[in-house]
Amino acid sequence: MHNDGSRQGEQSEELHADAELDLRGVICPYNFVKTKLKLETMKAGQVLAVVLDEGDPIRNVPRSVSDDGHAVLKQEPLAQAYRVIIRKKPDA
């Protein structure tokens, strides 16, 4: 089966981020705090892309935002980092 990459491009469009944070080099818990503060400025249902380092950041931040009620839609590996796609929870 030949894969020309077009499907992957379609997926990326579905998960278009309304905002993006690059938190490489930011240690725990500051990367979660910055993610949480950014989500607070966004509207319900908007999508935030966060770039996190390997190790504690990628283990802790997605779990913490999920615990806050947000949806982690996708985690994709980058070179020595990860891009996490988060949808802000509906307003209560």
> Does residue 77 have a cis peptide bond before it, meaning omega lies within 30 degrees of 0?
no
Sheet holding 71-78, edge to edge: 19-22, 47-53, 81-87, 71-78
Mean pLDDT of the chain: 88
**Global pTM exceeds 0.85:** no
- Per the annotation, the verdict on 50 as an active-site residue is no
Q: How many CA atoms lie within 13 A of 9 on its CB side?
A: 4
Mean pLDDT within 52-59 = 96
Predicted confidence (pLDDT) per residue in 6-18, tens digit? 444 434 445 799 9
Query: Using a CB cutoff of 8 Å and minimum separation of 24, what contacts does 5-13 make?
Result: none
6-87: what fold?
Translation Initiation Factor IF3 (3.30.110)
pLDDT at 14: 59
Q: Among the options 15, 17, 28, 73, which is catalytic?
A: 28
